Amino acid sequence: MIKRIEIEPIPLTEGCSKLVLKVEKGIIVEGYYYALVPVRGFETLLLDKEAPFATVAATRICGMCQAVHSIAAAKAIEDACNIEVPEAAEKLREALNLTVRVYNHLLHHIVISGNMFEDKDERFEFIKGVQRIRKNISTIMEIIGGEFVHPPNIVVGGISSSIDESVRERLIKLADETIPLAEKETKRFIDYINHIWKKRNLPDNLGSHNLDFFIAEDFNPEEIKELYPQEVFSEFPFKREATNTLVKVKGRAVETGVRARKVKKEGLKPSGGIKELHILRAEEIISTLKKMKTILEENTFNKELWNREFPVSDGQTTGNGIVEAPRGVNIHQVRVDKSGKITYYKIVVPTAINMLAIAEALKGEKVEYAEMVVRAYDPCIACATH
């Protein structure tokens, strides 16, 4: 006999969400994961606004992915309006995007630490260590972006404020200080992941799937299809509750994010399980910090970083802003008319892409593992209900 189980809300994720499971003999037959957060209507809000406003509005979509959305908005407008961005500004945007990735990965470690650490004192010691790293990272984000929460330095045409040599040297020093701290806490996190899996006798392939992987370089607008819940959730009335869209690439569910980057860029042969996902996210913290430091070392930013050309287009050309966010491919699309007003805006976020991957990963697993599978994808529900 198939039972229906509803779990609401799903704790230890970023935003209010719900999980509905079809279960037979304790095994998940189907799993539907979706957002309950009210839609705020950013795509509609931006219509008929002057194009530069998009970077300001986009930072308000999410308090954690703020710079990522703003960079994607700027890139989309620049693409639509054929605006050339100074090379140094592109590099500085990349460095800022990488700091956001580290900051988000570390927050995920804090959020799920209660499930990983059995000793309360050891958990709090871990959290304190992670927070020291995040403090350094937030300082770097604030210097480059102008503010931490809503960085105003990201503008259409580049970065509005240059960075003199003394500040660049300070950023490099901060990165140097942060890397060994991150290596220590990353090792501690991975050790505990391995410990918990062994103690609970969890299978290494828990939450595995056979889906394709999707990264920014794979983007083709003709291959992206955004679906309403009503088109996917045909069996249950909960389709009326869902406030996010779902995304398929080439007609299929895909996974995006850290594992996709590792598979597509470094040739990883994935197991597909959630243990692997946790470990890859932790390891990416170190490689990301080192990449960010290299960008700061190899470039100078004490020059004009902003092409101040006002953005105008024909109202028909679609500009695409594609950014690798912490959780995967973040897509902004825009059309701008001859007066510089936005006539069309579309946002496709990583969590909306991963919703169907989560559903696939749930199939065939014991019902008691359901929430573990969901959390491993670090879903950002705020982004998914923009």
pLDDT value of residue 199: 92
Q: Domain of 46: which CATH number?
A: 1.10.645.10
From the list 260, 231, 261, the residue with the least C-alpha distance to 244 is 231
Residue 265 has pLDDT above 80, yes or no: yes
Between the alpha carbon of residue 11 and those of residues 14, 114, 374, the distances in Å are: 8, 11, 10
Residue ranges for the known binding site for Mg(2+) are 43, 62, 347, 386
Length of the chain: 386
Q: Is residue 329 within 8 Å of residue 258, measured between CB atoms?
A: no
β-partners of residue 6 are: 20
Q: What is the pLDDT of residues 155-211, one digit of tens each?
A: 999 999 999 999 999 999 999 999 999 999 999 999 999 999 999 999 999 999 999
Angle, alpha carbons 8-35-27 (nearest 5°): 55
Q: How far is it between the farthest Cα atoms of the chain?
A: 68
3-state helix/strand/coil string of 100-138: HHHHHHHHHHHHHHHHHCCCHHHHHHHHHHHHHHHHHHH
State the pTM of this model. 0.96
Q: Is residue 369 within 8 Å of residue 206, measured between CB atoms?
A: yes
Residue 237 has pLDDT above 80, yes or no: no
Residue ranges for the known binding site are 43, 62, 65, 347, 380, 383, 386
Phi, psi of 66 (to 5 degrees): -55, -55
From the list 140, 153, 156, 34, the residue with the least C-alpha distance to 95 is 140
| Residue entry with tokens 């599978």 | 373
The whole-number average pLDDT for the span 40-46 is 95
| Residue entry with tokens 């008319």 | 337
Q: What is the pLDDT of residues 270-288, one digit of tens each?
A: 988 999 999 999 999 999 9
Residue ranges for the known binding site for Ni(2+) are 65, 380
Q: What is the domain range of residue 267? A: 2-384
Across 324-328, 374-378, 382-386, least confident range: 382-386
pLDDT value of residue 234: 67
Between the alpha carbon of residue 310 and those of residues 29, 81, 314, the distances in Å are: 53, 9, 14
What is d(CA 250, CA 261) in angstroms, rounded to the nearest whole number?
Answer: 18
What is d(CA 62, CA 256) in angstroms, rounded to the nearest whole number?
Answer: 19
What is d(CA 198, CA 183) in angstroms, rounded to the nearest whole number?
Answer: 23
Neighbours of 53 (CB within 10 A): 16
Left, alpha or beta for 267 (phi > 0: left; psi -120 to 50: alpha)? left
Between the alpha carbon of residue 103 and those of residues 99, 137, 194, 341, the distances in Å are: 6, 7, 23, 34
Please, which residues have CB within 8 angstroms of residue 378's CB and are 6 or more apart in sequence?
A: 13, 14, 104, 105, 108, 281, 326, 327
What is the overall mean pLDDT for the chain?
A: 94
Angle, alpha carbons 384-9-72 (nearest 5°): 15
Q: Is residue 211 within 8 Å of residue 252, measured between CB atoms?
A: yes
Question: Quick check: bond before 9 cis, omega within 30?
Answer: yes
Residue ranges for the known binding site for Fe cation are 65, 383
Q: How many independent structural domains does the chain possess? A: 1
pLDDT value of residue 98: 98
